[in-house]
Amino acid sequence: MIYIFALFLLTLLVITAIAIVRAEDLFVAVILTSIFSLLMAINFFILDAADVALTEAAVGAGVTTVIFLCALALTGDQEKPQKQGQKVALVIVSILALVIIYSTFDNPQLGDPDAPVHQHVAPWYLEKTPEYMDFPNVVTAILSSFRGYDTLGEVFVVFAACIGVLFILGVSPPRKAMQVSVKKSGLRHHLIPQVVGRLLIPFIVLFGLYTQFHGEYGPGGGFQAGALIATGVILYALLEGEAEALRAVPRRVLLGMVVGGALLYGSVGVVCMLMGGAFLDYSVLAADPVWGQQLGILIIEAGVGMAVCGALLSIFHAFAARERVS
């Protein structure tokens, strides 16, 4: 039964992908991308990857769509017609698709316990997580402790992406654009979305905090929490206007969150070294190694959450602050 549902979803995914490619109105394409992410999130959920599904839903369907729409507000919403080279591209894509489909014949069946991926280190992770960390969510254990270096790298990638976007878009616009009077933006005069939004934002942020601090026991963690809280603030910005959102969470705070999050993660590793362990080996942080692991994971997850939330909001504000260039 679940296979039929998964097949149905994957078919919808292919249809959506083709629709995205064919759409000439970029606005339609952005909305279709959001639908694509949502379908992908459901697919991840069927595959029992609740953590990834949560991230995909919050980032892919939520924040990215808003950032795309902000980018569209700066440029235009029509695709430039492109005539030449379409046949060549089609041929190359078809050949690649055939090669990929052919290569899937050698793949192990879905959920096959003898698949190589289940034979390598995964059993060791599953066996050692209760012993070393004493909490049930193995994904968080792998992400933040066993493979802590990878996650540190990811946080620095988020950091670098944020800095890059700010370098490109954060440049103050030329004098002429500066004189444009600050007009009231947002949906101030739309009472119904505003009331409902005000009702929902606290719950969104609360749910974000819940995923942040419940990440060891259920699906969740820093990435998901950062994205969820960012969505809440972006919703506030859409309803009340960008200036109001900046008044609630100023730019300095956002940059501080990005830098501080990355720094917090790195400094936990350095503290581990100072206390006689290896870099990012949390066992030395407390007298009891299990408590040490849990403390370390809690702190670095907070760092990840801060960095992700700050980066997403900084990128959103960088786009939203630009005047339309026509």
Partner 1 sequence: MIDLALDILSWILLTSGGVFVLIGGIGGLRLPNFYTRIHAASLTDTMATLLIFIGIILQAGFTLASLKLFAIMLFLLLTGPTATYALANAALLSGLKPDTGTAKDKTKENAPE
> Per residue in 273-292, is it b (16+ CB within 10 Å) or e — as a string?
eeeebeebbbbbbeeebbeb
Whole-angstrom Cα distance, residue 185 to residue 3?
Answer: 47
Indicate the residue among 14 and 195 with the shorter CB distance to partner 1: 195
291: its two tokens: 């408590």
Shortest Cβ distance from residue 179 to partner 1 (Å)? 23
Report helix, strand and coil shares of the chain as percent, to nearest 5: 75, 0, 25
Indicate the residue among 197 and 261 with the shorter CB distance to partner 1: 197
- Measured in degrees and rounded to the nearest 5, phi and psi for residue 23 equal -65, 130
41: nearest Cα among 49, 50, 53, 52? 53
235: nearest Cα among 268, 198, 282? 198
39: nearest Cα among 8, 64, 3? 8
Shortest Cβ distance from residue 48 to partner 1 (Å)? 17
Instruction: Pick one of 196, 209, 270, 278: the residue that binds partner 1 (CB under 8 A).
Output: 196
- Measured in degrees and rounded to the nearest 5, phi and psi for residue 81 equal -65, 135
Indicate the residue among 164 and 193 with the shorter CB distance to partner 1: 193
By the rule CB under 8 A, 192 interacts with partner 1: yes
Indicate the residue among 193 and 202 with the shorter CB distance to partner 1: 193
Shortest Cβ distance from residue 81 to partner 1 (Å)? 20
Shortest Cβ distance from residue 111 to partner 1 (Å)? 24
Size of the site for partner 1 (CB under 8 A): 7
Q: Which of residues 159-178 bind partner 1 (CB under 8 A)?
A: none
Region near partner 1 per CB under 8 A, out of 117-125, 185-193, 211-219, 313-321: 185-193
Indicate the residue among 148 and 197 with the shorter CB distance to partner 1: 197
Instruction: Pick one of 193, 198, 209, 324: the residue that binds partner 1 (CB under 8 A).
Output: 193
Instruction: Using the structure block, give the residue that is written with the tokens 């705070």.
Output: 253
| Residues in touch with partner 1 (CB under 8 A) | 187, 190, 192-193, 196, 199-200
